[in-house]
Structure 1
């Protein structure tokens, strides 16, 4: 028995340096791959291609003194002599020329990248053949397009600040008013902004014409000036040629025109959000709480494919604000159970919470009869209606201060029921327009762009989850009800839509074997995307001798017996896993609040030499989590593992095993590796895998920065990763049309060159090799930003290489990874379905039928679906110096999905891309100040402070943290 609140008995502790420091040092001194059988030449039969190349081939290592250090490379990574730190800029022989003879995946000399708005992605090298064939249906519906010319007109509407809904109303009124004179037999379509298309040319030539349009208003009629001018002809024949492979690029103007045609009617019928359409629930309501509810709808987008156009249709759901009185809205947001409790004034915390939720929403007034004017809320007053004053101009021209409550009594004969509640400030903030809450109503059809709470997210998932067969049936039902072929606008332009899903052939790839460590060096073969670690030990386990426990949960919530049992069970599981946690913790105390984190951690660091790990028990979502990570990762270099108190009180072997997976890599260990003998041959040479992502704070919050993260592998397995982080503030610019200053976030990583350089140097220090290939998986970029982002980031990668050596030219493969799309795959044969949700098998790959007509892309569902319908990841190769075949890149990508350290299952995207996401989220915690209301969960939830983040520099972690996977 040991007393809680006091340090454990240190007599049983080994006060020496952490064991994992010794392990890491030994690997470096002995050569990182010296003890790895896969990289010993005699253990790896070189392919025939290797045997034919000249025996004099050498690959040079980074040199510190200007002379090249040569190393023989025959199918493996041989170890060069150790080189002192520092890199020079002396030119070396072209690596890429030598590499062309090394592997069956040849590396061509990198093509110069020049600024070019017409840049084209690599062509598809071939179609994949590996794997077992499977018949699938995709929610893509064939679009039959005539080979005709369309006419494109530019539209300018004055006043020009109207929303798209009003713009569509203006154009519909204009077409009706000028049907005989201008539009004649044409039935034009409009995108809601400035693009209008007709089947036949309008009788206006190429002149600009001005038309006046009047919309009836609630009071006075509203008048608009519409300017119409011919812009261009759009050839659908050129589109057909591109689909047939006769033209290199797909004409964007034709895609845009078809998209506008097919979206015109639903845009008038439903509430458009992005590429989806929603309608208010009429029978089944799914409230989320906080004045929000789920709206269901459908997604629709036009996509080019081999030989044909496709219409991607999917069910969609998002959160909208409920149409309700603002009084009711306030009670939901503040969780006030009944209106009787509204008789008390709001306190400051309630007012701030309510302000954050309602600011930016549109409301309509209810005290003027049928004239329900609409306003946008800009603030909530500090003072209640009975004391909030504004300057009122009297009939005699004088101005007097009048309270809002008195004004409504005098003007409208309305005695306010809730004069003690604050007012809504609407319109422009400097105009001081105030409305009592009780005369306001939330305008229907407003999408919620603010982040959902954890409870709301959980409710949303439950409301929207559909098994694959159910989702397929729901999509087919949507298409039947939509009756696209009865759409008068589609008919006008001669467009027809197939009524059944497209059938495609896919392939189920063979999963890699996973290798563990210990004496037996056992392997595991994934089955349905999952494998079992029981009876196996980590490939490289860390021995933990000096460790501590800090419990921030209340003692009644996490009692001594529960904590003792948790500790014993964790030690047992960790020992079985080959990561023994030895002895008793050197420190075990209860603590409260984030203010105690830094002094406690400093005490631990100073008192216990070689402290390796601090296990932190948390009561739930709490600001303590952010402070633990800020202090541990950035200030002191302490490895920390947070555990929810509920998982301590009621622990399980699965939970403890997952904790061990994370702890081992945080201390520099290696959980498992891909079995070297079955890996792709690209691993036979030094190769670095990178993952990149940019995450943004909640929409509309321009005070907080975006986080750009880049990770890179640091060994040959690949299992260990390093990270580099930058914060990026929005770019401020003046709108050319309005002159207003606006903020714009960018998806590209601005300081990419320095970040890549950092990680290349770190890779060299870890392995004593310079990579001959760079494979980058880039997450978070939409199709419309592909080439803008690529041109900046590819150039930056090359710049980073040249900073290190002027002639250093590793082959670069740049792959965009997309998860936010609406393509779904369904098994045509029920026998192929897997799991309770009836999803496609893990490893299902599709690279024909629904992919790009000519460019190198594919869909891969690398994970086993647990809940709902699996979403395959879409991979689009934007650059490829390494000349991968389809089979090579698909198999490589699938294997990389099995290297994620947090679980024993394949994940939905390659591990580097996943890690970049984790690093960016962790960095957001590093920016959180102590008094921020943050807690464990999504980093986007750190939203409690209105102060701008002052940091404007690279976001560094502690030196001891930098060399391990602190973000795991």
Structure 2
């Protein structure tokens, strides 16, 4: 029939199942042939701490919480409350939970394979919240199988056991600190690193369970990230808008100020201060265009009548509170259609909110300075972290029979001899053509590239304004670059065929097209940039992917004040871009792997920031 196939009666027809696809061969990586012997032996300390574990099983349960829109922190509260309330099921057991669906116990729960549904009540602000928690047995996880794999008796590592251990190690820190990805943070105590714009640096620690060649390891490292400072919203606004004193802001915010403030505070949680001990929390969805003395909303009176009332008048009538800053806007909180408005002065930024918005260049610079550590300092901080954490007194770690070493793992390393580099050019003595790196550094003075390119047709495009980089600075830069490049065996002959000023990324493509069509033999475009700018990305897009033109960017500050070191580094990059060879390994000492053509592929994985569930991890 036209409407599709129909069936009558109780009989149903089952199509024969399609043949399953053939099993694909499992890829097994070749075993490591040996541990290597070249180089000078050295003892190293790695920030890994050995985990000793029992040989038995742990029991894995699936947990489903309804309603299911709760953040991990609330889910943990629900499970903790459940464990304390249902003594018949959990008894003296101390389950661990990952904040989503996975719960592990040392001994099995007395529920068999049945699905158990429990009611959990959390006290809330105003009224209690009721949740339904369903628990279902999933599997027995073998720690013995994990030990067998680590000691090389089986090839397959059971990752379900590693996940279980990771949940055990993270359970207590997740309740004590603010988790961000694999790191834990706590509010600053004894230090203060402001970033400006209402943001500050929080220090914490990264923790993860990792398999090694012989035992399970706990990897610990120091970490830092940006959080929003817990402070009154008025002060937050002043930081964002660079207002030194709120009393200087006697007028309403301008449109540009309001847009900037909205961009920073939208999505943040605030808590109210005008209702005594009940500090109810809201999420900001907008900032009003009108100030509190003009922003109105429909107010329902006791007689059922609805009238328009301003926020300032409502606070005066309801709370006997005359606003100090009625000329400032309100925060719109909760759902937009509900029209809930709060004056800035009755709101505080809730502590413990990580900043996921992009840091400014200045904030990034401050962050790097605040977090830079030498290796000995970092080692000292990690050891202090482990001592303070005192993992072996963690009741959940003890419950599962784990013991964590207090000492960093010592491993044997090898310092390989540095490769000898061969240079070329006009230098006559053989010794002068070779360089031996020392501590990763070598001296190129008096040496020329193994194969230097001769540059005859080149251009300069200056995207810094003329008042910042004057013509005489460009001329001096050209002369100094030619001198250094000539010494390096990559002569830049004659003046640039083109030297013009430009502004903005939209001028890059037309200028480059003109250069390509006008100067057929053009080899290189030197681009002067005014600091960090979108011009750089456009130069590389057009040069590398559209027109196929070699480009070398240089910062305006390095043009105005030239240094031989910077110019030498520029020459190293330019020579390779134009097909030259800077140096080679001395042929007589070249490793055997280079006897035939060989290519090295570097592979890395870039992960999205913690909490970003939309962007994928990218391997490249």
Q: TM-score, normalised by structure 1?
A: 0.58
1:435 matched to 2:342? The reply is yes
Q: Which residue of 1 aligns with 2:3?
A: none
Q: Distance in 1 between matches of 2:364 and 2:23?
A: 42
Q: Distance in 1 between matches of 2:390 and 2:611?
A: 37
CA offset digits 1:250-277 (Å, max 9, x no partner): 2122112222222222222111122221
CA offset digits 1:119-155 (Å, max 9, x no partner): 6544333322222111111111111101112222221
Q: Distance in 2 between matches of 1:425 and 1:123?
A: 61
The 1:466–1:689 alpha-carbon spacing in structure 2 relative to 1, beyond 3 Å, is closer
- 1:369 pairs, out of 265, 276, 279, with 276
- 1:566 pairs, out of 477, 491, 500, with 477
Q: Distance in 1 between matches of 2:611 and 2:115?
A: 37
- 2:446 pairs, out of 535, 560, 583, with 535
When Rg is computed on C-alpha atoms for both structures, the one with the higher figure is 2
Q: Which residue of 1 aligns with 2:490?
A: 579
The 1:262–1:134 alpha-carbon spacing in structure 2 relative to 1, beyond 3 Å, is same
Following superposition, the deviation at residue 323 of structure 1 comes to 0.7
Q: Distance in 1 between matches of 2:546 and 2:257?
A: 34
1:744 matched to 2:606? The reply is no
Task: Give ranges in structure 2 of 5+ residues lacking alignment.
Answer: 1-20
Q: Distance in 1 between matches of 2:611 and 2:58?
A: 38
- 2:596 pairs, out of 682, 685, 689, with 685
The 1:630–1:142 alpha-carbon spacing in structure 2 relative to 1, beyond 3 Å, is closer
User: Helix, strand or coil for the counterpart of 2:249?
Assistant: helix
Following superposition, the deviation at residue 481 of structure 1 comes to 1.8
Contact kept, 8 Å, 2:93 with 2:105, in 1: the verdict is yes
Q: Distance in 2 between matches of 1:124 and 1:697?
A: 32
Contact kept, 8 Å, 2:181 with 2:610, in 1: the verdict is no
Contact kept, 8 Å, 2:195 with 2:201, in 1: the verdict is yes
Runs of 4+ in 1 over 6 A off after TM superposition: 113-118, 693-701
Q: Distance in 2 between matches of 1:320 and 1:498?
A: 32
Q: Distance in 2 between matches of 1:353 and 1:516?
A: 55
Higher RCO, 1 vs 2 (CA within 8 Å, ≥6 residues apart): 1
* 1:871-950 superposed matches below 5 A: none
* 1:726-805 superposed matches below 5 A: 744-748=614-618, 779=620
Contact kept, 8 Å, 2:607 with 2:616, in 1: the verdict is no
1:161 matched to 2:72? The reply is no
The 1:699–1:305 alpha-carbon spacing in structure 2 relative to 1, beyond 3 Å, is closer
CA offset digits 1:223-265 (Å, max 9, x no partner): 2222222222122111121122112122122112222222222
Q: Which residue of 1 aligns with 2:32?
A: 124
User: Helix, strand or coil for the counterpart of 1:744?
Assistant: coil
Q: Distance in 2 between matches of 1:243 and 1:694?
A: 24
Following superposition, the deviation at residue 516 of structure 1 comes to 2.7
Following superposition, the deviation at residue 576 of structure 1 comes to 0.9
The 1:621–1:270 alpha-carbon spacing in structure 2 relative to 1, beyond 3 Å, is same
Q: Which residue of 2 aligns with 1:98?
A: none
Following superposition, the deviation at residue 695 of structure 1 comes to 6.2
* 1:440-451 superposed matches below 5 A: 440-451=347-358
Q: Which residue of 2 aligns with 1:649?
A: 560
User: Helix, strand or coil for the counterpart of 1:378?
Assistant: strand
Contact kept, 8 Å, 1:234 with 1:253, in 2: the verdict is yes
Q: Distance in 2 between matches of 1:504 and 1:695?
A: 28
Contact kept, 8 Å, 1:450 with 1:698, in 2: the verdict is no
Q: Distance in 2 between matches of 1:316 and 1:121?
A: 33
1:316 matched to 2:223? The reply is yes
CA offset digits 1:647-685 (Å, max 9, x no partner): 122211111111112222333333233444444444333
* 1:25-64 superposed matches below 5 A: none
The 1:409–1:672 alpha-carbon spacing in structure 2 relative to 1, beyond 3 Å, is farther
1:197 matched to 2:67? The reply is no
Q: Which residue of 1 aligns with 2:206?
A: 299
User: Helix, strand or coil for the counterpart of 1:125?
Assistant: coil
Contact kept, 8 Å, 1:144 with 1:309, in 2: the verdict is yes
Q: Which residue of 2 aligns with 1:544?
A: 455
Q: Which residue of 2 aligns with 1:470?
A: 377
Q: Distance in 1 between matches of 2:446 and 2:337?
A: 69
Q: Distance in 1 between matches of 2:24 and 2:361?
A: 44
Q: Which residue of 1 aligns with 2:584?
A: 673
Q: Distance in 2 between matches of 1:117 and 1:279?
A: 48
* 1:443-522 superposed matches below 5 A: 443-520=350-427, 522=433
Following superposition, the deviation at residue 444 of structure 1 comes to 0.7
User: Helix, strand or coil for the counterpart of 1:306?
Assistant: coil
Q: Distance in 2 between matches of 1:648 and 1:340?
A: 44
Q: Which residue of 1 aligns with 2:13?
A: none
1:149 matched to 2:57? The reply is yes
CA offset digits 1:604-642 (Å, max 9, x no partner): 444444233332323323344344444444454443322
The 1:413–1:546 alpha-carbon spacing in structure 2 relative to 1, beyond 3 Å, is farther
User: Helix, strand or coil for the counterpart of 1:343?
Assistant: coil
Following superposition, the deviation at residue 564 of structure 1 comes to 2.4
Q: Distance in 1 between matches of 2:25 and 2:243?
A: 55
Q: Distance in 1 between matches of 2:605 and 2:92?
A: 49
Q: Distance in 1 between matches of 2:162 and 2:438?
A: 41
Q: Distance in 1 between matches of 2:327 and 2:591?
A: 71
Q: Which residue of 2 aligns with 1:588?
A: 499
- 2:129 pairs, out of 222, 244, 254, with 222
Q: Distance in 1 between matches of 2:320 and 2:141?
A: 60
The 1:308–1:639 alpha-carbon spacing in structure 2 relative to 1, beyond 3 Å, is closer
1:346 matched to 2:253? The reply is yes
Q: Distance in 2 between matches of 1:500 and 1:698?
A: 30
Q: Distance in 2 between matches of 1:270 and 1:241?
A: 34
Contact kept, 8 Å, 1:629 with 1:640, in 2: the verdict is yes
Q: Distance in 2 between matches of 1:203 and 1:350?
A: 61
How many residues are aligned here?
596
CA offset digits 1:770-822 (Å, max 9, x no partner): xxxxxxxx55xxxxxxxxxxxxxxxxxxxxxxxxxxxxxxxxxxxxxxxxxxx
Following superposition, the deviation at residue 600 of structure 1 comes to 4.0
- 1:174 pairs, out of 51, 62, 82, with 82
The 1:375–1:676 alpha-carbon spacing in structure 2 relative to 1, beyond 3 Å, is farther
Task: Give ranges in structure 1 of 5+ residues lacking alignment.
Answer: 1-112, 702-742, 749-777, 780-968
Contact kept, 8 Å, 1:553 with 1:619, in 2: the verdict is yes
User: Helix, strand or coil for the counterpart of 2:173?
Assistant: helix
Q: Which residue of 1 aligns with 2:17?
A: none
Following superposition, the deviation at residue 349 of structure 1 comes to 3.6
Contact kept, 8 Å, 1:450 with 1:699, in 2: the verdict is no
CA offset digits 1:361-393 (Å, max 9, x no partner): 222222322222222223334444444454545
Following superposition, the deviation at residue 475 of structure 1 comes to 1.6
CA offset digits 1:381-432 (Å, max 9, x no partner): 4444444454545555565555444444444444443344443333334444
Contact kept, 8 Å, 2:49 with 2:405, in 1: the verdict is yes
Contact kept, 8 Å, 1:404 with 1:434, in 2: the verdict is yes
The 1:191–1:561 alpha-carbon spacing in structure 2 relative to 1, beyond 3 Å, is same
Following superposition, the deviation at residue 281 of structure 1 comes to 0.9
Contact kept, 8 Å, 2:608 with 2:617, in 1: the verdict is no
Contact kept, 8 Å, 1:562 with 1:649, in 2: the verdict is yes
Contact kept, 8 Å, 1:628 with 1:640, in 2: the verdict is yes
Q: Distance in 1 between matches of 2:351 and 2:586?
A: 57
Q: Distance in 2 between matches of 1:655 and 1:213?
A: 66
1:262 matched to 2:169? The reply is yes
1:526 matched to 2:437? The reply is yes
Q: Which residue of 2 aligns with 1:208?
A: 115
Following superposition, the deviation at residue 177 of structure 1 comes to 1.5
Q: Which residue of 2 aligns with 1:16?
A: none
Once the two structures are overlaid, the 10-residue window that deviates more, 609-618 or 447-456, is 609-618
- 1:137 pairs, out of 42, 45, 50, with 45
Q: Distance in 2 between matches of 1:452 and 1:350?
A: 19
